[in-house]
Chains A and B, each alone.
Chain A
Amino acid sequence: DAGVIQSPRHEVTEMGQEVTLRCKPISGHDYLFWYRQTMMRGLELLIYFNNNVPIDDSGMPEDRFSAKMPNASFSTLKIQPSEPRDSAVYFCASSPGGQAGSYEQYFGPGTRLTVT
Chain B
Amino acid sequence: GQSLEQPSEVTAVEGAIVQINCTYQTSGFYGLSWYQQHDGGAPTFLSYNALDGLEETGRFSSFLSRSDSYGYLLLQELQMKDSASYFCAVRDLDSGYSTLTFGKGTMLLVSP
Contacts and interface: CB of A to CB of B under 8 A. Distances in A.
Interface of A: 31, 33, 42-43, 45, 48, 50, 55-56, 91, 93, 101-110
Contact of B33 (A101, A104, A110): A104
Interface of B: 30-31, 33, 41-45, 48, 87, 89, 91, 95-105
Contact of B98 (A31, A42, A93, A109): A31
A91 B44 CA distance: 12
Given A42-B105, A43-B87, A102-B97, A107 B42 contact: yes
A104 B96 contact: no
Contacts of A109: 41-42
B33 A103 contact: yes
Contacts of B89: 103
Contacts of B87: 43
A101 to B, nearest CB: 8
A45 B98 CA distance: 12
A50 B97 CA distance: 13
A36 to B, nearest CB: 11
B48 A103 contact: yes
A23 B101 CA distance: 21
